[in-house]
Structure 1
Amino acid sequence: MAAPTITDRPVRRPALSPSRAGDFKQCPLLYRFRAVDRLPERPTRAQVRGTVVHAVLEELFSLPPAERVPDRARELVGPAWDRVRAERPEFSELFAEGDPEQEEWLASAEGLLDGYFGLEDPRRFDPDARELLVEWELPSGVLLRGYVDRVDVAPTGEIRVVDYKTGAAPREVGEAKALFQMKFYALVLWRLRGVVPRQLRLMYLADRQALAYQPEEAELARFERTLEAIWDAILRAGRSGDFRPNPSRMCDYCDHKALCPAFDGTPPPYPGWPEPDAGAETPLDRVD
Protein backbone atom coordinates (compact mmCIF):
# COMPACT_ATOMS: atom_id res chain seq x y z
CA MET A 1 0.00 0.00 0.00
CA ALA A 2 1.31 3.42 -0.89
CA ALA A 3 2.27 5.76 1.94
CA PRO A 4 -0.39 8.38 2.68
CA THR A 5 0.23 11.82 1.30
CA ILE A 6 0.05 14.91 3.46
CA THR A 7 -3.48 15.59 2.26
CA ASP A 8 -4.53 12.05 3.32
CA ARG A 9 -3.49 12.58 6.92
CA PRO A 10 -5.98 13.79 9.52
CA VAL A 11 -5.87 17.54 10.11
CA ARG A 12 -6.36 19.08 13.53
CA ARG A 13 -8.60 22.11 13.34
CA PRO A 14 -7.70 25.45 14.89
CA ALA A 15 -8.69 25.26 18.55
CA LEU A 16 -8.80 27.40 21.65
CA SER A 17 -6.78 26.31 24.67
CA PRO A 18 -6.86 27.98 28.09
CA SER A 19 -3.30 29.22 27.70
CA ARG A 20 -3.82 30.73 24.28
CA ALA A 21 -7.14 32.26 25.33
CA GLY A 22 -5.29 33.80 28.27
CA ASP A 23 -2.62 35.13 25.91
CA PHE A 24 -5.22 36.88 23.76
CA LYS A 25 -6.91 38.40 26.82
CA GLN A 26 -3.56 39.64 28.09
CA CYS A 27 -2.23 40.88 24.74
CA PRO A 28 -3.52 40.03 21.24
CA LEU A 29 -0.04 40.52 19.79
CA LEU A 30 1.37 37.99 22.26
CA TYR A 31 -1.24 35.53 21.00
CA ARG A 32 -0.10 36.17 17.44
CA PHE A 33 3.57 35.69 18.29
CA ARG A 34 2.85 32.37 20.03
CA ALA A 35 -0.03 30.86 18.06
CA VAL A 36 0.38 32.33 14.57
CA ASP A 37 4.06 33.17 14.12
CA ARG A 38 5.03 30.46 16.61
CA LEU A 39 8.16 32.31 17.59
CA PRO A 40 10.53 30.30 19.79
CA GLU A 41 10.76 31.14 23.47
CA ARG A 42 13.61 30.17 25.74
CA PRO A 43 12.28 28.03 28.61
CA THR A 44 13.32 29.02 32.11
CA ARG A 45 14.71 26.63 34.67
CA ALA A 46 11.62 27.19 36.79
CA GLN A 47 9.32 26.20 33.91
CA VAL A 48 11.26 23.05 33.09
CA ARG A 49 11.46 22.11 36.75
CA GLY A 50 7.67 22.38 36.81
CA THR A 51 7.47 20.02 33.85
CA VAL A 52 9.66 17.50 35.69
CA VAL A 53 7.51 17.74 38.82
CA HIS A 54 4.35 17.22 36.76
CA ALA A 55 5.93 14.13 35.18
CA VAL A 56 6.77 12.72 38.61
CA LEU A 57 3.27 13.31 39.95
CA GLU A 58 1.76 11.64 36.89
CA GLU A 59 3.98 8.59 37.34
CA LEU A 60 3.42 8.49 41.10
CA PHE A 61 -0.18 7.39 40.61
CA SER A 62 0.89 4.49 38.40
CA LEU A 63 2.57 2.98 41.48
CA PRO A 64 0.76 0.80 44.03
CA PRO A 65 -0.77 3.03 46.74
CA ALA A 66 1.69 1.86 49.40
CA GLU A 67 4.62 3.16 47.30
CA ARG A 68 3.21 6.68 46.89
CA VAL A 69 5.45 8.16 49.56
CA PRO A 70 7.90 11.09 49.57
CA ASP A 71 11.08 9.01 49.34
CA ARG A 72 9.77 7.11 46.32
CA ALA A 73 8.71 10.37 44.64
CA ARG A 74 12.21 11.80 45.09
CA GLU A 75 13.65 8.70 43.43
CA LEU A 76 11.53 9.45 40.37
CA VAL A 77 12.96 12.94 39.83
CA GLY A 78 16.18 11.93 38.05
CA PRO A 79 14.50 9.49 35.63
CA ALA A 80 11.76 12.05 34.94
CA TRP A 81 14.40 14.66 34.06
CA ASP A 82 16.02 12.16 31.69
CA ARG A 83 12.68 11.51 29.96
CA VAL A 84 11.86 15.20 29.66
CA ARG A 85 15.26 15.91 28.10
CA ALA A 86 14.82 13.02 25.67
CA GLU A 87 11.45 14.40 24.57
CA ARG A 88 12.64 18.01 24.42
CA PRO A 89 16.41 18.00 23.68
CA GLU A 90 16.55 21.79 23.87
CA PHE A 91 16.03 21.53 27.63
CA SER A 92 19.53 20.08 27.94
CA GLU A 93 20.86 23.55 27.15
CA LEU A 94 19.74 24.74 30.58
CA PHE A 95 22.86 23.28 32.16
CA ALA A 96 26.40 22.75 30.93
CA GLU A 97 27.94 19.31 31.33
CA GLY A 98 28.87 18.79 34.98
CA ASP A 99 27.21 22.02 36.11
CA PRO A 100 26.83 21.72 39.92
CA GLU A 101 23.74 23.92 39.75
CA GLN A 102 21.87 21.05 38.10
CA GLU A 103 22.01 19.01 41.31
CA GLU A 104 20.71 21.97 43.31
CA TRP A 105 17.94 22.39 40.74
CA LEU A 106 16.93 18.73 41.00
CA ALA A 107 16.94 19.05 44.78
CA SER A 108 14.57 22.01 44.49
CA ALA A 109 12.23 19.78 42.45
CA GLU A 110 12.31 17.29 45.32
CA GLY A 111 11.37 20.14 47.67
CA LEU A 112 8.29 20.90 45.55
CA LEU A 113 7.28 17.26 45.78
CA ASP A 114 7.58 17.50 49.56
CA GLY A 115 5.19 20.43 49.27
CA TYR A 116 2.75 18.21 47.39
CA PHE A 117 2.77 15.61 50.18
CA GLY A 118 2.06 18.41 52.62
CA LEU A 119 -1.26 18.98 50.82
CA GLU A 120 -2.64 15.47 50.35
CA ASP A 121 -1.89 11.78 50.83
CA PRO A 122 -1.90 10.03 47.42
CA ARG A 123 -2.11 6.62 49.07
CA ARG A 124 -5.75 7.25 49.95
CA PHE A 125 -7.25 7.39 46.45
CA ASP A 126 -6.80 6.58 42.76
CA PRO A 127 -7.47 9.33 40.21
CA ASP A 128 -9.88 8.77 37.36
CA ALA A 129 -7.45 10.34 34.84
CA ARG A 130 -4.03 12.00 34.66
CA GLU A 131 -2.73 14.38 31.98
CA LEU A 132 -6.10 14.08 30.29
CA LEU A 133 -6.55 15.60 26.82
CA VAL A 134 -10.06 17.05 26.60
CA GLU A 135 -11.76 18.45 23.50
CA TRP A 136 -15.25 19.76 22.92
CA GLU A 137 -16.85 21.65 20.06
CA LEU A 138 -19.33 24.32 21.11
CA PRO A 139 -22.53 24.81 19.08
CA SER A 140 -20.98 27.92 17.54
CA GLY A 141 -18.16 25.79 16.11
CA VAL A 142 -15.46 26.78 18.62
CA LEU A 143 -13.24 23.77 19.34
CA LEU A 144 -11.93 23.80 22.92
CA ARG A 145 -8.81 21.80 23.70
CA GLY A 146 -6.66 21.42 26.80
CA TYR A 147 -4.83 19.08 29.14
CA VAL A 148 -6.08 18.48 32.69
CA ASP A 149 -3.47 17.49 35.27
CA ARG A 150 -5.82 15.21 37.18
CA VAL A 151 -9.49 14.25 37.42
CA ASP A 152 -10.82 12.56 40.56
CA VAL A 153 -14.23 10.89 40.67
CA ALA A 154 -15.86 10.04 44.01
CA PRO A 155 -17.88 6.82 44.47
CA THR A 156 -20.95 9.07 44.39
CA GLY A 157 -19.97 10.34 40.91
CA GLU A 158 -18.82 13.80 41.99
CA ILE A 159 -15.93 15.15 39.93
CA ARG A 160 -12.92 17.09 41.19
CA VAL A 161 -10.52 18.80 38.79
CA VAL A 162 -6.97 19.17 40.15
CA ASP A 163 -4.19 21.35 38.79
CA TYR A 164 -0.62 21.42 40.12
CA LYS A 165 1.17 24.76 40.26
CA THR A 166 4.88 24.76 41.07
CA GLY A 167 4.99 28.45 41.88
CA ALA A 168 3.69 30.19 44.98
CA ALA A 169 0.02 31.01 45.46
CA PRO A 170 -0.68 34.17 43.42
CA ARG A 171 -2.18 37.50 44.27
CA GLU A 172 -5.59 38.53 42.98
CA VAL A 173 -4.63 38.93 39.30
CA GLY A 174 -2.77 35.63 39.17
CA GLU A 175 -5.59 33.89 40.99
CA ALA A 176 -8.10 35.09 38.41
CA LYS A 177 -5.86 33.76 35.60
CA ALA A 178 -5.62 30.38 37.30
CA LEU A 179 -9.37 30.19 37.83
CA PHE A 180 -9.93 31.07 34.17
CA GLN A 181 -7.91 27.98 33.26
CA MET A 182 -9.81 25.79 35.71
CA LYS A 183 -13.22 27.02 34.53
CA PHE A 184 -12.14 26.15 30.99
CA TYR A 185 -11.47 22.57 32.08
CA ALA A 186 -14.67 22.44 34.12
CA LEU A 187 -16.72 23.59 31.13
CA VAL A 188 -15.26 20.96 28.80
CA LEU A 189 -15.67 18.17 31.36
CA TRP A 190 -19.26 19.26 32.01
CA ARG A 191 -20.05 19.06 28.30
CA LEU A 192 -18.22 15.75 27.88
CA ARG A 193 -19.57 13.97 30.95
CA GLY A 194 -22.83 15.77 31.62
CA VAL A 195 -21.83 16.56 35.21
CA VAL A 196 -20.64 19.91 36.55
CA PRO A 197 -17.42 19.29 38.52
CA ARG A 198 -18.06 19.62 42.23
CA GLN A 199 -14.68 21.20 42.93
CA LEU A 200 -11.80 22.88 41.13
CA ARG A 201 -8.63 22.53 43.19
CA LEU A 202 -5.39 24.40 42.57
CA MET A 203 -2.41 23.04 44.49
CA TYR A 204 0.47 25.50 44.95
CA LEU A 205 3.40 23.29 45.87
CA ALA A 206 5.99 25.98 46.60
CA ASP A 207 4.16 27.30 49.65
CA ARG A 208 1.85 24.33 50.30
CA GLN A 209 -1.38 26.19 49.73
CA ALA A 210 -4.51 24.96 48.00
CA LEU A 211 -7.28 27.01 46.42
CA ALA A 212 -10.66 25.31 46.05
CA TYR A 213 -13.56 26.62 44.00
CA GLN A 214 -17.03 25.23 43.38
CA PRO A 215 -18.41 26.17 39.95
CA GLU A 216 -22.11 26.38 39.14
CA GLU A 217 -23.86 25.38 35.93
CA ALA A 218 -25.13 28.89 35.16
CA GLU A 219 -21.64 30.28 35.70
CA LEU A 220 -20.11 27.78 33.27
CA ALA A 221 -22.79 28.60 30.69
CA ARG A 222 -21.80 32.28 30.93
CA PHE A 223 -18.15 31.30 30.71
CA GLU A 224 -18.94 29.38 27.53
CA ARG A 225 -20.24 32.58 25.96
CA THR A 226 -17.10 34.38 27.11
CA LEU A 227 -14.92 31.84 25.28
CA GLU A 228 -17.04 32.20 22.15
CA ALA A 229 -16.56 35.97 22.28
CA ILE A 230 -12.79 35.54 22.67
CA TRP A 231 -12.68 33.18 19.71
CA ASP A 232 -14.75 35.57 17.57
CA ALA A 233 -12.27 38.33 18.38
CA ILE A 234 -9.35 36.02 17.50
CA LEU A 235 -10.93 35.15 14.16
CA ARG A 236 -11.49 38.82 13.33
CA ALA A 237 -7.88 39.59 14.13
CA GLY A 238 -6.78 36.51 12.21
CA ARG A 239 -8.57 37.60 9.05
CA SER A 240 -7.15 41.11 9.14
CA GLY A 241 -3.80 40.44 10.80
CA ASP A 242 -4.59 43.24 13.28
CA PHE A 243 -3.27 41.80 16.55
CA ARG A 244 -2.68 44.86 18.69
CA PRO A 245 -0.28 45.07 21.64
CA ASN A 246 -1.64 45.69 25.11
CA PRO A 247 1.28 47.01 27.17
CA SER A 248 1.36 46.08 30.84
CA ARG A 249 3.83 45.16 33.54
CA MET A 250 3.87 41.64 32.04
CA CYS A 251 5.85 43.06 29.10
CA ASP A 252 8.98 42.89 31.24
CA TYR A 253 8.76 39.09 31.09
CA CYS A 254 7.95 38.78 27.37
CA ASP A 255 10.48 37.11 25.08
CA HIS A 256 9.19 39.15 22.15
CA LYS A 257 9.42 42.68 23.54
CA ALA A 258 12.01 43.67 20.92
CA LEU A 259 9.45 42.92 18.18
CA CYS A 260 6.61 44.88 19.78
CA PRO A 261 5.50 48.23 18.28
CA ALA A 262 4.71 49.45 21.81
CA PHE A 263 8.49 49.38 22.39
CA ASP A 264 9.53 50.62 18.94
CA GLY A 265 9.90 47.09 17.56
CA THR A 266 8.65 45.66 14.27
CA PRO A 267 6.77 42.35 14.15
CA PRO A 268 7.64 39.88 11.40
CA PRO A 269 5.43 39.94 8.27
CA TYR A 270 2.02 38.47 9.02
CA PRO A 271 1.98 34.89 7.68
CA GLY A 272 -1.80 34.58 7.56
CA TRP A 273 -4.15 32.53 9.71
CA PRO A 274 -2.43 29.24 10.60
CA GLU A 275 -3.56 25.78 9.66
CA PRO A 276 -4.04 23.21 10.90
CA ASP A 277 -3.77 24.07 14.61
CA ALA A 278 -3.70 27.55 16.12
CA GLY A 279 -4.30 26.52 19.70
CA ALA A 280 -1.40 24.33 20.71
CA GLU A 281 -0.69 24.20 24.43
CA THR A 282 2.65 22.95 25.73
CA PRO A 283 3.54 21.45 29.13
CA LEU A 284 5.38 24.68 29.95
CA ASP A 285 2.06 26.54 29.74
CA ARG A 286 0.64 24.62 32.67
CA VAL A 287 3.34 24.71 35.34
CA ASP A 288 3.26 28.28 36.75
Structure 2
Amino acid sequence: MIKNNTPDPYVTLWNRCEAWFLEHLQDCMNGDDFTEYQSFRHNADTHIRARSRLYQGEKLDRVMVHQYSLKAGRSGLVIFGYPRVEYAIPCFLLHIGGMPPARTLLILDLAPIDPALDMTPFQTVAAQQRAVLGLPETQVEWLQSVTSPHLLYCPLKPLEPEQFFATFTATIETWRSAYIEPAQRDTNAAAVQRRSAAIVELKRVLLRNDPAFPVFTRAFGQSMSDVFAEAAFGGNPGVTIAEAVEPLPVPGSWINKKLGVSWNADAQERIHEAPAFLRPIIRRIIEKEAVKEEITVVTLELVLRCEKKYRSGMEL
Protein backbone atom coordinates (compact mmCIF):
# COMPACT_ATOMS: atom_id res chain seq x y z
CA MET A 1 0.00 0.00 0.00
CA ILE A 2 1.11 3.57 -0.62
CA LYS A 3 2.37 5.15 2.58
CA ASN A 4 0.07 7.90 3.73
CA ASN A 5 2.66 10.69 3.88
CA THR A 6 0.88 12.84 1.28
CA PRO A 7 -1.76 15.52 1.87
CA ASP A 8 -4.38 13.36 0.10
CA PRO A 9 -6.83 12.00 2.72
CA TYR A 10 -8.15 9.39 0.29
CA VAL A 11 -4.89 7.44 0.22
CA THR A 12 -6.00 6.00 3.56
CA LEU A 13 -9.30 4.87 2.02
CA TRP A 14 -7.57 3.32 -0.99
CA ASN A 15 -5.29 1.40 1.40
CA ARG A 16 -8.35 0.20 3.30
CA CYS A 17 -10.08 -0.93 0.08
CA GLU A 18 -6.93 -2.74 -1.04
CA ALA A 19 -6.58 -4.56 2.29
CA TRP A 20 -10.28 -5.47 2.23
CA PHE A 21 -10.00 -6.83 -1.33
CA LEU A 22 -7.04 -9.04 -0.39
CA GLU A 23 -8.72 -10.27 2.80
CA HIS A 24 -11.89 -11.34 0.98
CA LEU A 25 -9.89 -13.21 -1.67
CA GLN A 26 -7.32 -14.84 0.59
CA ASP A 27 -8.57 -18.31 -0.37
CA CYS A 28 -8.35 -17.46 -4.09
CA MET A 29 -4.85 -15.94 -4.22
CA ASN A 30 -1.82 -15.51 -1.98
CA GLY A 31 -1.75 -11.95 -0.68
CA ASP A 32 1.79 -12.43 0.67
CA ASP A 33 3.24 -13.36 -2.73
CA PHE A 34 3.36 -10.43 -5.14
CA THR A 35 5.53 -8.38 -7.49
CA GLU A 36 5.59 -4.62 -6.95
CA TYR A 37 6.51 -1.67 -9.18
CA GLN A 38 6.71 1.92 -7.92
CA SER A 39 7.68 5.26 -9.37
CA PHE A 40 7.63 8.84 -8.04
CA ARG A 41 8.07 12.25 -9.63
CA HIS A 42 8.28 15.15 -7.24
CA ASN A 43 9.27 18.78 -7.74
CA ALA A 44 7.83 22.19 -6.91
CA ASP A 45 4.94 21.74 -9.37
CA THR A 46 4.61 17.99 -9.65
CA HIS A 47 3.48 15.28 -7.25
CA ILE A 48 2.97 12.06 -9.22
CA ARG A 49 3.11 8.61 -7.69
CA ALA A 50 2.21 5.20 -9.07
CA ARG A 51 2.43 1.76 -7.54
CA SER A 52 1.29 -1.60 -8.94
CA ARG A 53 1.20 -4.96 -7.21
CA LEU A 54 0.63 -8.22 -9.08
CA TYR A 55 -0.93 -11.33 -7.54
CA GLN A 56 -1.87 -14.77 -8.87
CA GLY A 57 -4.09 -17.64 -7.82
CA GLU A 58 -5.00 -21.15 -8.87
CA LYS A 59 -7.79 -19.81 -11.09
CA LEU A 60 -6.53 -16.23 -11.49
CA ASP A 61 -3.81 -15.48 -14.01
CA ARG A 62 -3.18 -11.91 -12.87
CA VAL A 63 -4.67 -9.50 -10.37
CA MET A 64 -3.24 -5.98 -10.51
CA VAL A 65 -3.86 -3.58 -7.64
CA HIS A 66 -2.72 -0.09 -8.58
CA GLN A 67 -2.75 3.17 -6.62
CA TYR A 68 -1.87 6.51 -8.15
CA SER A 69 -1.60 10.10 -6.99
CA LEU A 70 -1.41 13.01 -9.44
CA LYS A 71 -1.45 15.82 -6.88
CA ALA A 72 -2.98 16.63 -3.50
CA GLY A 73 -6.64 15.62 -3.52
CA ARG A 74 -6.39 13.79 -6.84
CA SER A 75 -5.66 10.10 -6.52
CA GLY A 76 -7.28 6.77 -7.18
CA LEU A 77 -7.40 3.00 -6.98
CA VAL A 78 -7.48 0.61 -9.96
CA ILE A 79 -7.95 -3.17 -9.74
CA PHE A 80 -7.94 -5.48 -12.75
CA GLY A 81 -8.50 -9.19 -12.09
CA TYR A 82 -8.08 -11.63 -15.00
CA PRO A 83 -8.86 -15.38 -14.80
CA ARG A 84 -6.79 -18.17 -16.27
CA VAL A 85 -8.24 -19.03 -19.65
CA GLU A 86 -9.11 -22.55 -18.49
CA TYR A 87 -11.81 -21.07 -16.24
CA ALA A 88 -15.04 -19.26 -17.15
CA ILE A 89 -14.75 -16.42 -14.65
CA PRO A 90 -15.58 -12.78 -15.42
CA CYS A 91 -12.84 -10.16 -15.15
CA PHE A 92 -12.93 -7.81 -12.17
CA LEU A 93 -12.68 -4.14 -13.19
CA LEU A 94 -12.46 -1.22 -10.79
CA HIS A 95 -11.38 2.39 -11.15
CA ILE A 96 -12.32 4.89 -8.46
CA GLY A 97 -10.73 8.30 -8.41
CA GLY A 98 -11.17 11.79 -9.81
CA MET A 99 -11.50 14.52 -7.21
CA PRO A 100 -13.83 12.98 -4.60
CA PRO A 101 -16.27 13.58 -3.13
CA ALA A 102 -17.49 16.39 -5.42
CA ARG A 103 -16.23 14.89 -8.71
CA THR A 104 -15.85 11.14 -8.32
CA LEU A 105 -15.10 8.78 -11.17
CA LEU A 106 -16.25 5.21 -10.61
CA ILE A 107 -16.18 2.27 -13.00
CA LEU A 108 -16.97 -1.12 -11.45
CA ASP A 109 -17.84 -4.27 -13.37
CA LEU A 110 -17.53 -8.02 -13.69
CA ALA A 111 -16.82 -8.33 -17.41
CA PRO A 112 -17.90 -11.66 -18.95
CA ILE A 113 -15.38 -13.51 -21.09
CA ASP A 114 -17.56 -16.50 -21.98
CA PRO A 115 -21.12 -16.52 -23.36
CA ALA A 116 -21.94 -19.44 -21.05
CA LEU A 117 -21.48 -17.28 -17.95
CA ASP A 118 -24.64 -16.62 -15.95
CA MET A 119 -24.38 -12.94 -15.01
CA THR A 120 -27.58 -12.96 -12.94
CA PRO A 121 -25.75 -12.85 -9.56
CA PHE A 122 -23.86 -9.72 -10.56
CA GLN A 123 -26.93 -8.23 -12.25
CA THR A 124 -28.81 -8.48 -8.95
CA VAL A 125 -26.01 -6.94 -6.90
CA ALA A 126 -25.39 -4.17 -9.43
CA ALA A 127 -29.08 -3.20 -9.52
CA GLN A 128 -29.23 -3.02 -5.72
CA GLN A 129 -26.03 -1.00 -5.41
CA ARG A 130 -26.91 1.36 -8.28
CA ALA A 131 -30.07 2.30 -6.36
CA VAL A 132 -28.20 2.71 -3.07
CA LEU A 133 -25.58 4.99 -4.61
CA GLY A 134 -28.04 6.83 -6.83
CA LEU A 135 -25.99 6.08 -9.95
CA PRO A 136 -27.38 6.65 -13.45
CA GLU A 137 -28.19 3.88 -15.90
CA THR A 138 -25.62 5.45 -18.25
CA GLN A 139 -23.01 3.13 -19.72
CA VAL A 140 -19.44 3.95 -20.72
CA GLU A 141 -19.61 4.06 -24.51
CA TRP A 142 -16.00 3.08 -25.19
CA LEU A 143 -16.29 0.09 -22.80
CA GLN A 144 -19.65 -1.28 -23.91
CA SER A 145 -18.23 -3.85 -26.33
CA VAL A 146 -16.12 -5.57 -23.63
CA THR A 147 -18.04 -5.12 -20.36
CA SER A 148 -21.34 -6.28 -18.91
CA PRO A 149 -24.57 -4.25 -19.28
CA HIS A 150 -24.63 -4.08 -15.46
CA LEU A 151 -21.48 -1.96 -15.11
CA LEU A 152 -21.67 0.65 -12.32
CA TYR A 153 -20.60 4.12 -13.43
CA CYS A 154 -20.30 7.47 -11.69
CA PRO A 155 -19.27 10.08 -14.31
CA LEU A 156 -17.43 12.66 -12.20
CA LYS A 157 -20.46 13.35 -10.01
CA PRO A 158 -20.79 13.66 -6.21
CA LEU A 159 -20.13 10.35 -4.47
CA GLU A 160 -18.69 9.81 -1.02
CA PRO A 161 -16.07 7.05 -1.35
CA GLU A 162 -17.14 5.72 2.06
CA GLN A 163 -20.60 5.05 0.58
CA PHE A 164 -18.91 3.10 -2.17
CA PHE A 165 -17.34 0.66 0.30
CA ALA A 166 -20.46 -1.52 0.67
CA THR A 167 -20.81 -1.71 -3.12
CA PHE A 168 -17.15 -2.68 -3.44
CA THR A 169 -17.58 -5.41 -0.81
CA ALA A 170 -20.73 -6.83 -2.42
CA THR A 171 -19.02 -7.01 -5.82
CA ILE A 172 -15.92 -8.76 -4.42
CA GLU A 173 -18.07 -11.31 -2.59
CA THR A 174 -20.13 -11.98 -5.72
CA TRP A 175 -16.98 -12.44 -7.83
CA ARG A 176 -15.62 -14.91 -5.30
CA SER A 177 -18.71 -16.90 -4.31
CA ALA A 178 -20.68 -16.90 -7.58
CA TYR A 179 -17.81 -17.21 -10.04
CA ILE A 180 -14.32 -18.03 -8.74
CA GLU A 181 -15.14 -20.72 -6.17
CA PRO A 182 -17.56 -22.79 -8.31
CA ALA A 183 -15.54 -22.47 -11.55
CA GLN A 184 -14.35 -25.81 -12.94
CA ARG A 185 -11.30 -26.26 -15.12
CA ASP A 186 -12.30 -26.47 -18.79
CA THR A 187 -9.54 -27.20 -21.30
CA ASN A 188 -11.79 -27.49 -24.35
CA ALA A 189 -9.69 -25.88 -27.09
CA ALA A 190 -12.52 -23.85 -28.59
CA ALA A 191 -13.63 -22.55 -25.19
CA VAL A 192 -10.07 -21.63 -24.19
CA GLN A 193 -9.54 -19.79 -27.48
CA ARG A 194 -12.83 -17.94 -27.06
CA ARG A 195 -11.93 -16.77 -23.54
CA SER A 196 -8.41 -15.87 -24.59
CA ALA A 197 -9.69 -13.69 -27.45
CA ALA A 198 -12.18 -11.98 -25.12
CA ILE A 199 -9.47 -11.16 -22.56
CA VAL A 200 -7.13 -9.82 -25.26
CA GLU A 201 -9.85 -7.56 -26.62
CA LEU A 202 -10.73 -6.33 -23.14
CA LYS A 203 -7.09 -5.50 -22.41
CA ARG A 204 -6.65 -3.82 -25.79
CA VAL A 205 -9.68 -1.57 -25.25
CA LEU A 206 -8.59 -0.68 -21.72
CA LEU A 207 -5.03 0.10 -22.80
CA ARG A 208 -6.02 2.23 -25.80
CA ASN A 209 -8.31 4.33 -23.63
CA ASP A 210 -6.37 4.51 -20.36
CA PRO A 211 -5.58 8.16 -19.57
CA ALA A 212 -2.80 7.23 -17.14
CA PHE A 213 -0.09 6.28 -19.61
CA PRO A 214 0.48 9.70 -21.23
CA VAL A 215 0.85 11.05 -17.67
CA PHE A 216 3.25 8.27 -16.67
CA THR A 217 5.30 8.63 -19.86
CA ARG A 218 5.83 12.35 -19.30
CA ALA A 219 6.53 11.94 -15.57
CA PHE A 220 8.61 8.73 -15.48
CA GLY A 221 9.75 8.14 -19.08
CA GLN A 222 8.65 5.60 -21.67
CA SER A 223 10.43 2.62 -20.09
CA MET A 224 8.68 2.98 -16.73
CA SER A 225 5.36 3.65 -18.44
CA ASP A 226 5.84 0.37 -20.34
CA VAL A 227 6.43 -1.41 -17.03
CA PHE A 228 3.11 -0.18 -15.64
CA ALA A 229 1.38 -1.14 -18.90
CA GLU A 230 2.79 -4.66 -18.66
CA ALA A 231 1.62 -4.87 -15.05
CA ALA A 232 -1.92 -3.93 -16.03
CA PHE A 233 -2.27 -5.73 -19.37
CA GLY A 234 0.40 -8.44 -19.47
CA GLY A 235 -0.08 -12.04 -18.41
CA ASN A 236 -1.47 -14.92 -20.44
CA PRO A 237 -2.81 -13.68 -22.75
CA GLY A 238 -1.23 -10.24 -22.65
CA VAL A 239 -1.20 -7.03 -24.67
CA THR A 240 1.63 -4.50 -25.02
CA ILE A 241 1.48 -0.77 -25.76
CA ALA A 242 3.06 -1.42 -29.17
CA GLU A 243 0.30 -3.93 -30.03
CA ALA A 244 -2.60 -1.86 -28.73
CA VAL A 245 -1.83 1.67 -29.85
CA GLU A 246 -2.84 2.62 -33.39
CA PRO A 247 -0.19 3.98 -35.79
CA LEU A 248 0.46 7.71 -35.84
CA PRO A 249 -1.77 9.66 -38.24
CA VAL A 250 -0.22 10.54 -41.59
CA PRO A 251 1.38 14.03 -41.27
CA GLY A 252 -1.00 16.69 -42.51
CA SER A 253 -3.92 14.27 -42.83
CA TRP A 254 -6.11 16.06 -40.28
CA ILE A 255 -8.08 18.71 -42.15
CA ASN A 256 -11.41 20.19 -41.11
CA LYS A 257 -12.68 21.63 -44.39
CA LYS A 258 -15.84 22.98 -42.79
CA LEU A 259 -13.87 25.11 -40.32
CA GLY A 260 -10.92 25.71 -42.64
CA VAL A 261 -8.43 24.27 -40.14
CA SER A 262 -5.53 21.87 -40.77
CA TRP A 263 -2.94 20.37 -38.41
CA ASN A 264 0.85 20.28 -38.17
CA ALA A 265 2.38 16.82 -37.77
CA ASP A 266 3.73 17.49 -34.25
CA ALA A 267 0.31 18.76 -33.12
CA GLN A 268 -1.30 15.57 -34.47
CA GLU A 269 1.25 13.44 -32.63
CA ARG A 270 0.53 15.22 -29.36
CA ILE A 271 -3.20 14.50 -29.60
CA HIS A 272 -2.44 10.89 -30.58
CA GLU A 273 -0.89 10.43 -27.11
CA ALA A 274 -4.32 10.90 -25.53
CA PRO A 275 -6.72 7.99 -24.84
CA ALA A 276 -8.48 6.88 -28.02
CA PHE A 277 -11.95 7.86 -26.80
CA LEU A 278 -10.77 11.38 -25.95
CA ARG A 279 -8.97 12.19 -29.20
CA PRO A 280 -11.99 13.29 -31.26
CA ILE A 281 -13.28 15.35 -28.33
CA ILE A 282 -9.91 17.09 -27.86
CA ARG A 283 -9.57 17.63 -31.58
CA ARG A 284 -12.97 19.36 -31.77
CA ILE A 285 -12.14 21.61 -28.81
CA ILE A 286 -8.83 22.69 -30.31
CA GLU A 287 -10.25 23.28 -33.79
CA LYS A 288 -12.96 25.53 -32.33
CA GLU A 289 -10.26 27.35 -30.36
CA ALA A 290 -8.30 27.83 -33.59
CA VAL A 291 -11.34 29.38 -35.30
CA LYS A 292 -11.85 31.76 -32.36
CA GLU A 293 -8.21 32.84 -32.63
CA GLU A 294 -8.39 33.02 -36.44
CA ILE A 295 -5.71 30.34 -36.79
CA THR A 296 -5.81 28.17 -39.90
CA VAL A 297 -3.07 25.66 -38.95
CA VAL A 298 -3.09 23.98 -35.53
CA THR A 299 0.43 23.96 -34.08
CA LEU A 300 1.92 22.23 -31.08
CA GLU A 301 2.01 25.59 -29.31
CA LEU A 302 -1.79 25.92 -29.64
CA VAL A 303 -2.30 22.35 -28.44
CA LEU A 304 -0.18 22.99 -25.33
CA ARG A 305 -2.07 26.19 -24.58
CA CYS A 306 -5.39 24.36 -24.86
CA GLU A 307 -4.13 21.56 -22.62
CA LYS A 308 -3.30 24.09 -19.94
CA LYS A 309 -6.68 25.79 -20.36
CA TYR A 310 -8.91 22.70 -20.35
CA ARG A 311 -7.01 19.92 -18.56
CA SER A 312 -8.49 20.70 -15.12
CA GLY A 313 -11.73 19.08 -16.24
CA MET A 314 -10.12 15.75 -17.12
CA GLU A 315 -9.53 13.85 -13.89
CA LEU A 316 -8.27 10.28 -13.65
Asked if these proteins are the same fold (TM beyond 0.5), I'd say: no
Q: Relative contact order, CA 8 A, sep 6+: which one is greater?
A: 1
TM-score (norm 2): 0.24
- Higher fraction of helix: 1
